[in-house]
Structure 1
Amino acid sequence: MKQRNFLAARIDQWSREHPRLLDLIMAGSMWLVFGLSSALAGLPAFLVATAAILPLAVRRRFPATVLAWSAAAFAVQLVVVPIPLPADIAQAIVVYTVAAHVASVPIRLLALGAALTGSVLAGFRWSTPPAYEANVFKNAVFLGILFVLVWVIGNLVRGRQANMSALRAASARLEEGRLQHERFVAQRQRVAAAREIHDIVAHCLTVVIVQADGAEYAAEHARPWERGDAGTVFATIGRTARSALAEVRGVIEVLRDADGPDEAHGARLGIAELRQLVDSVRATGLAVEVEAEPSVFDDVPPAIRFTVLRVVREALTNVLKHAGPHATAHVVVARTPGGIMVRAEDDGVGSRRADATASPPGYGLDGMRERLRAMGGVLEAGPRSGRGFVVDATIPVAALSPATP
């Protein structure tokens, strides 16, 4: 039984893939069976049967034309052949074809009307005495019911095909939407990775440049050159470079993680990592003061912890790059009724630095704004009154709280 079902499925698939070839085979087979058997009623019957059956080979390509030809052939049959023929089954197939494959409602109704008219005329032509009127009625009703059923089945098939086409189109749209979503997610991951790598590299290279510039100045001007000072400088450079390499590798690895870099690293971040970040900046010679309660990260989602540290790091990187020599920085991380507030300010020359050696503008502030926007936060940055630059960031903790649906 399973083998039969498998064979039937293969036949059905083949027929759907080769509809024209199937029509040709069907027309040829019907002509061999019904056309040749109609020859028993004489040559006119054979010619009429052939004219009715052979056009079925193109019934799906030209259904309206085949309908008109079939109606003409049946009219000729009623005139020259006084009896029904086995080939008359072709008329029912034509009605079914029009109902199943023609979208125009008027043409489908025309096919039904022609079939019912033919049923009445056939009832008069093929009925015999003594109960002539009763036979006419019975034959017309029987043929009419038969053609109505065939027409209804054809319309049901057409409706099913239309539904299947709509489902296939909807499935294609859903698949395209899924692919677009995947491309969008991949693009977001690439943008997030690029932003993380930018932040990491910008911060660490700034530290390395400051240390290298200090070492170069000391080597040229300081007397005598202290080995211990040199060792400290190179140790800071090496530690910073190794940290940058490890973080870049981590960003690349977490691209395979559905939770993303924030979730991957944020759960392990806290006040200790904040102080470690500040210490690495202090090693460059920048004086940094930090105000942060030990419990500032308690009950804070990992993504927000990660964002807070990134904002602090980018702000201190900007101080190293733009504040000028002898600047000091002050960082505040505090809880507010609605979330976490981060403030990083310095007393350097800030954005008003105009000498020729000033660093070109980067993408740090834009990156922070994008990151905070994703968290529902706000970033404000600009020069302080007097001297220096200030960065204010607020992040609503409730926006990403685990309790939020």
Structure 2
Amino acid sequence: MRQRTFLAARIDQWSREHPRRLDLTLAGSMWLVFGLSSALAGLPAFLIATAVILPLVVRRRFPTAVLLWSAAAFGVQLMVVPIPLPANLAQAVVVYTVAAHVVSLPIRLLALGAALAGSVLAGLRWSTPPEYLVNVFKNAAFLGILSVLVWVIGNLVRGRQANMRALREASARLEESRLQRERFVVQRQRVAAAREIHDIVAHSLTVVIVQADGAEYAAEHAQPWDRGDAGRVFATIGRTARSALTEVRGVIEVLREADAEADGPGEPRGAGLGLAELRQLVDSVRAAGLAVDVDAEPAAFDDVPTAVRFAVLRVVRESLTNVLKHAGPYAAAHVTVTRAQGGIMVRVEDDGVGVRRADAIADHGSEPGYGLDGMRERLRALGGVLEAGPRPGGGFVVEAAIPVAVLSPSARPAGFAAAPGGMRRSGE
């Protein structure tokens, strides 16, 4: 229902929206009331009243020019007409207009000085004996006080309008800042989604390439060609592709969940992502020829946000993809997922020699958002930490600690402290 407003408020709003119409209405009304009534003092008085009132139509557009014109007309009135006119009220409107709408302080002071000088001259011209000097003082004081009050009111209105403009500008800046923050958040979500999809596709293509290369070699050199092996290869490729598609859809669901700021009512957090998806991921890597052993606590994923579950799968997927690429053809990997104090610990290690580990780190950490640096950045956003490096006895290890509650880096649990040589749970 539309809220009702007072008549004065509606008039004020209309006057702000149509200032020229207001000035035209004001000038026309004053001329009909005060201009015509000034004709009782004679034709010169009528002409002077008209000359004083009609310029009010452009008083906001040319306030200084209207002030000078009004002062000149008042001087002519003092010489031609021996009495005050009702149209002299228009000169008070001119003083108010200059005080309210002119930024220059000297011009505003000029208007005040002209009003005070006119008050003194009017007192001298319009006072009568026998107490002439007393009447001059009274008339000049009355007109001077009235002029000062009108001038002060105009300045107060100008200050209020300046404050309102400043508030509107500040509000506009705040709104623009809010829009920029929203655009920044949307851009970050898009970048995060692109990174996730890159990792998912990179891992899946690595498995598919290994399987396809193996199938191609077997088709050319193996005698005889085993149809069962070929079926297993294609089945692995199909499972990997379907798993990648599911994970890409999961990334989009996580973004939607972030927009909603809450999971659906009655639906457990992170539903559909857990040990089954972890084992499916490991099976796809095993099918590519890498021996992987998994040790995951059954309750590790209980009551865990979707973003944290995705982070666990990302760490395992990226680490095993690196093992496939760099650990050598006869490497074996071990994956450990345990529940620690307030979060999940992930450890992926291999015993391969492959290429030099320093080269592997440089290869995977050179581009922001990819490899180890990308994992660190994404875990940092969840309040987690990641350590990676060569094992003392050979091979490579990746360790990650991710809080169950998504925290800022300054609010990480005490049990997730990183120690030299890798992360350790408190108490170990």
Instruction: Please report the TM-score for the alignment, with normalisation by the length of structure 1.
Output: 0.84
Q: CA deviation at 1:192?
A: 1.5
Query: Is the 8 Å Cα contact of residues 365 and 373 (structure 2) preserved in structure 1?
Result: no
Q: CA deviation at 1:343?
A: 2.6
The number of aligned residues is 399
Query: Is the 8 Å Cα contact of residues 349 and 387 (structure 1) preserved in structure 2?
Result: no
Would you say 1:400 and 2:393 are equivalent positions? no
Distance 2:262 2:30 in 1: 71
**1:93 to 1:161, Cα distance in 2 relative to 1, 3 A:** same
**1:353 to 1:206, Cα distance in 2 relative to 1, 3 A:** farther
Query: What residue in structure 2 maps to residue 278 of structure 1?
Result: 282
Distance 2:76 2:358 in 1: 102
Query: What residue in structure 1 maps to residue 164 of structure 2?
Result: 164
Query: Superposed, which structure 2 residues align to 1:66-215 within 5 Å?
Result: 66-215=66-215
**1:15 to 1:168, Cα distance in 2 relative to 1, 3 A:** same
Query: What residue in structure 2 maps to residue 41 of structure 1?
Result: 41
Match of 1:345 among 344, 349, 356: 349
Distance 1:104 1:281 in 2: 78
Would you say 1:381 and 2:388 are equivalent positions? yes
Distance 2:303 2:366 in 1: 36
The DSSP-based 3-state class of the residue aligned with 2:60 is coil
Distance 2:159 2:261 in 1: 51
Match of 1:326 among 318, 330, 333: 330
Letter of the structure 1 residue corresponding to residue 331 of structure 2: A
Query: Is the 8 Å Cα contact of residues 347 and 399 (structure 2) preserved in structure 1?
Result: yes
The DSSP-based 3-state class of the residue aligned with 2:347 is strand
**1:260 to 1:81, Cα distance in 2 relative to 1, 3 A:** closer
Distance 1:130 1:151 in 2: 33
Letter of the structure 2 residue corresponding to residue 349 of structure 1: G
**1:144 to 1:392, Cα distance in 2 relative to 1, 3 A:** same
Q: CA deviation at 1:189?
A: 1.3
The DSSP-based 3-state class of the residue aligned with 2:293 is strand
Structure 1: runs of 5+ lacking an equivalent: none
The DSSP-based 3-state class of the residue aligned with 1:390 is strand
Letter of the structure 2 residue corresponding to residue 206 of structure 1: T
Instruction: Please report the TM-score for the alignment, with normalisation by the length of structure 2.
Output: 0.80
Structure 2: runs of 5+ lacking an equivalent: 413-428
Distance 1:381 1:50 in 2: 91
Which segment drifts farther, 219-228 or 133-142? 133-142
Q: CA deviation at 1:275?
A: 2.9
Query: What residue in structure 1 maps to residue 398 of structure 2?
Result: 391
Q: CA deviation at 1:262?
A: 11
Q: CA deviation at 1:19?
A: 3.0
Distance 1:80 1:40 in 2: 15
Q: CA deviation at 1:336?
A: 4.8
Query: What residue in structure 2 maps to residue 303 of structure 1?
Result: 307
Query: What residue in structure 2 maps to residue 372 of structure 1?
Result: 379
Distance 1:198 1:372 in 2: 16
Q: CA deviation at 1:184?
A: 0.9
The DSSP-based 3-state class of the residue aligned with 2:258 is coil
Identity of aligned residues (%): 80
Distance 2:64 2:101 in 1: 10
**1:206 to 1:261, Cα distance in 2 relative to 1, 3 A:** farther
The DSSP-based 3-state class of the residue aligned with 1:225 is coil
Query: Is the 8 Å Cα contact of residues 385 and 402 (structure 2) preserved in structure 1?
Result: yes
Q: CA deviation at 1:368?
A: 1.0
Please give the root-mean-square deviation of Cα atoms over the aligned residues, in Å. Answer: 3.6
Q: Which digits, 9 at most, give the CA deviation of each residue in 1:358-400, with x for residues without a partner?
A: 9998723332122112123333334445753332333355663
Query: What residue in structure 2 maps to residue 249 of structure 1?
Result: 249
**1:360 to 1:367, Cα distance in 2 relative to 1, 3 A:** closer
Q: CA deviation at 1:36?
A: 4.4
The DSSP-based 3-state class of the residue aligned with 2:346 is strand
Which segment drifts farther, 154-163 or 38-47? 38-47
Query: Is the 8 Å Cα contact of residues 305 and 405 (structure 2) preserved in structure 1?
Result: no
Query: Is the 8 Å Cα contact of residues 350 and 383 (structure 1) preserved in structure 2?
Result: no
Q: Which digits, 9 at most, give the CA deviation of each residue in 1:94-136, with x for residues without a partner?
A: 1110111122334333323332332233223212234444543
Query: What residue in structure 1 maps to residue 415 of structure 2?
Result: none
The DSSP-based 3-state class of the residue aligned with 1:400 is coil
The DSSP-based 3-state class of the residue aligned with 1:266 is coil
Distance 2:263 2:373 in 1: 22
**1:108 to 1:359, Cα distance in 2 relative to 1, 3 A:** closer
Q: CA deviation at 1:311?
A: 0.6
